[in-house]
Amino acid sequence: MSRKPIVLHTAPHVKRPQEVPVIMRNVVFALLPILAFAIYQFGISVLALTLVVTLTCLATERFFNWMSNRTSSLGDWSAVITGILMALTLPPGFPLWMGVVAGFVGMAMGKMVFGGIGFNVFNPALVGRAFVQAAFPVAITTWTPAFFDGRFTQFIPTTLTMPFMMPPDISAWASSVAVDGFTGATPLGLQKFQDTQTAAMELLTGMTAGSAGETSALLIFVCGLYLAFRNMMNWRIPVWIFIGVTVTSGALYLVDADKYPDPLFMLLSGGLMLGAMFMASDMVGSPVTARGVMIYGLLIGFLTVVIRVFGSLSEGIMYAILLGNAATPLIDAMTQPRVFGARRKEQSP
Amino acid sequence: MAFAPRLIVPVSQHIGAPAVPVVKAGQEVVRGQLIAEADGFFSVPVHAPATGIVEAIDLMHSAAGPKVLSIVIKVYEAASQQVLESYPVDPMQLDRDELIKRVQNSGLAGLGGAAFPSHVKLQVPEEKQAEVLVVNGCECEPYLTCDHRVMLEQPENLLQGVRYALRITGAKRAIIGIEDNKADAARLLREKLTDNDPISVELVETKYPQGAEKMLLKSLLGLEVPVGGLPIDVGVVVNNVGTLAQLGRLLPSGEGLTERVITVSGSGMEKAGNYLVPIGTPVSFILEQVGVEAEYEEVIMGGPMMGMSIASLEVPVTKGTSGVLVFRERRFIEEQGERGTRFPCIKCGRCVDACPMRLNPAQMVWLAEKREYTAMQEKFNLNSCFECGCCSFVCPSNIPLVQYFRIAKSINNENRKATA
Ligand code: SF4
Ligand code: SF4
């Protein structure tokens, strides 16, 4: 019979169309509004920083592809996510050259040495962030007031620091440009070191200082919801983190309401929302089973509060997530699903 | 459907020992005549699906790939095709052993797809007791509608078959489980039940893989079959509606199985539908009959999730063939989504959520890539996987998970044989 050859392949012959690049691309879409708000709030410095960090991430990934003789893996969009996320966690006036360092280290040490997407243990964005936190302790805690005048026409002075130079002290500049009432201090810093509470409304809408993209809890939440609804994010992860944070900080608050902040503040301030929605929920570093995800989320929530309250840093979500990532293989091993038809006790360890 | 000019009847259309041909090339056969007899208890005989002459007994293509011994029959066009061999009896008068023998003689093997010998399934081991007979009226896969048609068109045969099966197994009641999108079939069957009938009809949610035995038992009775066990371990015997409808027809007349209902479907097919097809009909003939043009690229026997794409259109319909699907696109996936490139596992956990057996497919794939096949079985119950394909279906990285599991299983089997 003279017919076209028939294609053979194995079952199943149909497939759900949602593939890795589609998921990743949508995460990028979900991040864009947050990025836009950050630019609106802090000006062109944030735009420049994001571009620089993202391009560094892409270049690093490509470089490693080339080194290991593989085809380019840029097409899966995950490096773009890492770049944008990392930029959003940095202070708006973070020197660009340090952004390059963060991007390179995050991708190289956090992802590519493990073998690229799927093989990394830690969230690469956080690896980069943690590295520069240790390397440049001053720059990473130099905050800029939000909505300063001229933010769309001029860079924050620290942004353009020459490579390998330390950025200038900008406290004088900061107070000169600040619109009344705005200080450069973050809500968490204020709470921890000066005992001043920032109102929940300001935290929700992002009318505060902080890292470029972590200020508006509400906006981040909405963007995260989009992903959750499109079934592109495991919504259980942020939910368990919120529960972990609420329970832990609630307990502390009940013990001493004067000394410890209330749970609502804990939930809305700092990088928690961004971390919970976009970083902890990164599929690669999180457990695969529903029970594993519960443990993972609660652990991160608990650690965040503990670090914030008892640690020397004002922000804890970053290290909490990294620790959660580290615990994931263990959690995975502990939480194998109960096989259909297996009796409860016979569970494999 | 009409008779193809040549029918290709493999001697092994079931799970178990192949049947042994009892005819020779050049011999004339009558429709319904025994042409290969069972080789022991775990085997099923084969009957001539049409009146004609045995052209050859030779190795022919099969759906699975390797060539298998088949009896090729050239059909006499003029013949009346009346089924000649029959020894009418009233099955309700016979005892169990006699009935089981007759089921075996009828050549019946599970028509749901697995083609497990029906008499073996109906035989309850000495030390066990069957409480319930579950009649599986859930399509085994999406696209297939043959079970639905059987229920609508042969309800009497079906109920008769269920009553025989109750007698054979000694079960006290029977439940016909039907997916809730086929309420019409349920209504029809319910109307035909008597008061205090031991048979009842129940609806279950429509979802793949509801038609898998273990899933159906869970939905209907809340029972979980133990790992490595069979339904009879929880006191249940399961049979497919198509099988029992044939049973209801074949037992009283003493005929052999010569035809079955299959779904012919796929994208862009005009005369898609269910057809009663003689066993041994080559796929090419079916496609001609339903008027499929030359532009297709993939032909699948069975369903889209578990079926096999076939290399040759000369592959015949067998007792276990539930459907023939034709896809015009180079790959069906391309019609819906992206390229189908493979990415590394991103540990998204979707396969874990999707697995009806609550296995951990992700973990098993990591082990499979390291070739740790024994660990897959020992720690992760590989053998509980019934290859439904759900994990591959959802995987955003396009990892062919099921394929890994098939390979791992067969390697484990080989090794077990080697050491035994
Ligand atoms: S094929 Fe996949 S989803 Fe289906 S039983 Fe096996 S492991 Fe589970
Ligand atoms: S669905 Fe695919 S990518 Fe996701 S965990 Fe399972 S194997 Fe990995």
Which of B77, B86, B84, B73 lies closest to B30, judged by CA?
Answer: B84
Going from the N-terminus, what domains does chain B have, and what CATH number goes with each? 6-85+256-327 (3.10.20.600), 91-253 (3.40.50.11540), 350-419 (no CATH)
* H, E, C per residue of chain B: CCCCCEEEEECCCCCCECCEECCCCCCEECCCCEEEECCCCCECCEECCCCEEEEEEEEECCCCCCCEEEEEEEECCCCCCCCCCCCCCCHHHCCHHHHHHHHHHCCCECCCCCCCEHHHHHCCCCCCCCCEEEEEECCCCCCCCHHHHHHHHCHHHHHHHHHHHHHHHCCCEEEEEEEHHHHHHHHHHHHCCCCCCCEEEEEECCCCCCCCHHHHHHHHHCCCCCCCCCHHHHCEEEEEHHHHHHHHHHHHHCCCCCEEEEEEEECCCCCCEEEEEECCCEHHHHHHHCCCCCCCCEEEECCCCCCEECCCCCCECCCCCCEEEEECCCCHHHHHCCCCCCCCCCCCCHHHHHCCCCCCHHHHHHHHHCCCHHHHHHHHCHHHCCCCCHHHHHCCCCCCHHHHHHHHHHHHHHHHHHHC
Share of chain B above pLDDT 90, in %: 0
If one compares B334 and B413, the residue with the highest pLDDT of the two is B413
pLDDT at res. A296: 92
* A246-267 mean pLDDT: 82
Most confident of A141-150, B21-30, B88-97, B364-373: B21-30
The residues spanned by each domain of chain A are: 17-142+144-184, 185-333
pTM over 0.80: no
Rounded average pLDDT over A22-32: 86
Q: Is the CB of B387 under 6 A from ligand 1?
A: yes
Position B142, amino acid: P
Nearest to A285 by CA among A121, A145, A175, A154: A121
Closest CA to B314 of B346, B286, B292, B278: B286
Mean pLDDT of A319-334: 86
Give the pLDDT band of residue A346 (cuts 50, 70, 90): very low
- Predicted confidence band of residue B165 (pLDDT cuts 50, 70, 90): confident
Of A7, A290, A339, the CB nearest to B297: A7
Segment A62-87 mean pLDDT: 80
The whole-number pLDDT of residue A196 equals 57
* Overall average pLDDT of the A193-219 stretch: 64
Q: What is the mean pLDDT of residues B369-398?
A: 82
Q: Please choose, from the candidates A116, A123, A284, A27, the residue with its C-alpha nearest in 3D space to the C-alpha of residue B348.
A: A284
DSSP A275: I
ipTM: 0.71
Q: Is the pLDDT of residue A141 over 80?
A: no
The rounded distance, in Å, linking the Cα atoms of B281 and B318 is 8
pLDDT score of A267: 81
Q: Residue B332's pLDDT is what?
A: 44
For a pLDDT cut of 70, what percent of chain B falls above it? 90
- Chain-wide mean pLDDT for chain B? 81
Record the tokens describing residue B70, joined without a space. 């088949």
Identify which of A103, A112, A286, A13 has the alpha carbon closest to the alpha carbon of residue B362: A286
- Number of neighbours of residue B217 by Cβ within 10 angstroms: 23
What would the mean pLDDT of A184-206 be, rounded to a whole number? 60
Residue A349: per-residue pLDDT: 33
Ligand nearest to the backbone CA of A287? 2
Q: What crossing angle do the helices spanning A317-334 and A290-310 adopt, rounded to 10°?
A: 150
Query: Is the pLDDT assigned to residue A181 strictly greater than 50?
Result: no
Decide if A14 and B331 are in contact by the 8 Å CB cutoff: no
User: CB B420: neighbour CB atoms within 10 A?
Assistant: 5
* Residue-level length of chain A: 349
Contact A117 B396 (CB under 8 A): no
Average pLDDT, chain A: 76
> Which residue's entry shows tokens 């019979």?
A1
pLDDT digits (tens, 9 = 90+) for B115-142: 788 888 788 877 788 888 888 878 777 7
Of A3, A16, A337, the CB nearest to B294: A3
Residue A126 pLDDT exceeds 80: yes
Residues of B in contact with A9 (CB under 8 A): 298, 309, 331
Return d(Cα B339, Cα B345) in angstroms, integer.
17
State percent of chain A over pLDDT 90. Answer: 3
pLDDT over 50 (residue A89) = yes
pLDDT grade, residue A299 (50/70/90)?
A: very high
| pLDDT at site B335 | 40
Q: What is the average pLDDT across A97-125?
A: 82
Residue of B nearest to A19 (CA): B396
Indicate whether A159 pLDDT > 80. no
Q: Do the chains contact at B304 and A116, CB–CB below 8 Å?
A: no
Which of B305, B337, B357 lies at the smallest CB-CB distance from A339?
Answer: B357
User: Which residues fall within 8 angstroms of residue B339, CB to CB, at 6 or more apart?
Assistant: none
Model pLDDT for residues B224-282, shown as the tens digit of each residue: 888 877 788 888 888 888 888 888 888 888 788 888 888 888 766 667 788 888 888 98
